[in-house]
Amino acid sequence: MLTRTLVALAFATAATAQPTVESAWVELGAEGKIIARAVTMQSRCPKIKIAGTGSRRMAVRAASTPPDYAVLSCEAVIPAGARSAAIAGQPLTLPKKEPRTIAVFGDTGCRLKGDAVQACNDPTAWPFPAVAARIAAMHPDLVVHVGDYLYRETACPVGQNCAGPFGEKWDVWNADFFAPAAPLLRAAPWVMVRGNHEDCQRAGEGWFRFLDAGPRPA
């Protein structure tokens, strides 16, 4: 009986399981548009559950294109006035009508460019993870990033405390922005601004896949 129960439970869990997400957040677009975004390594987008409208699968914003972008970028519009929303069971923080506490910052990536080397694995030399966690603990109403998310342009020199990915690909976006910003992405809605690091010759591909609030251009 116990074996049959465990097997039945396993089948039920598999049938209802949500695709896991690497990151999920809310950002604001033009004219008050509220946008939910998610990044997943699964073959389909997760479902978003919005109070008052039920559950639906998020739309694909950008398909997986290995090896550099072996992730799906997904999105959904949240109706104004929605009381709550969650992606794959992870609650989202929705915008307040009149935000009063606003965090503003930019130039958050870890510098790796030729001889300009920052110790990305040293929290003192690259404090963005600690700064993001500290701001998240303050529960701001809104976060504004004024641009320049990626700085890891060249390989870490041998012997330096900065080993990790570099270039323009998901692993770099995750290391330079999504992983360190994770607690703050959960804590508040964001306004994402495009910096000169996100131009078309540098990190524009990731910018339009993940962060730009408008429709993704061809």
Three-state secondary structure string covering the chain: CHHHHHHHHHHHHHHHCCCCCCEEEEEECHHHCEEEEEEECCCCCCEEEECCCEEEECEEEECCECCCECCEEEEEEECCCCCCEEECCEECCCCCCCCCCEEEECCCCCCEECCEECCCCCCCCCCHHHHHHHHHHCCCCEEEECCCCCCECCCCCCCCCCCCCCCCCHHHHHHHHHHHHHHHHHHCCEEECCCHHHCCCCCHHHHHHHHCCCCCCC
- Which residues does residue 62 pair with via DSSP β-bridges, in sequence order? 73
Structure tokens, 56? 């639906």
pLDDT for the residue 140: 98
pTM: 0.89
| Pairwise CA distance, residues 49 & 38, whole Å | 13
Residue 21 near residue 39 (C-beta atoms within 8 A): yes
CB neighbourhood size of 156 (10 A):
20
- pLDDT tens figures, 77-86: 999 999 999 9
Query: Nearest Cα to 28, choosing from 147, 198, 204, 192?
Result: 192
Instruction: Check residue 62 and give its pLDDT.
Output: 98
Residues of the chain with confidence (pLDDT) below 70: 1-19
> In angstroms, how far is CA 87 from the centroid of its own chain?
12
pLDDT value at residue 19: 57
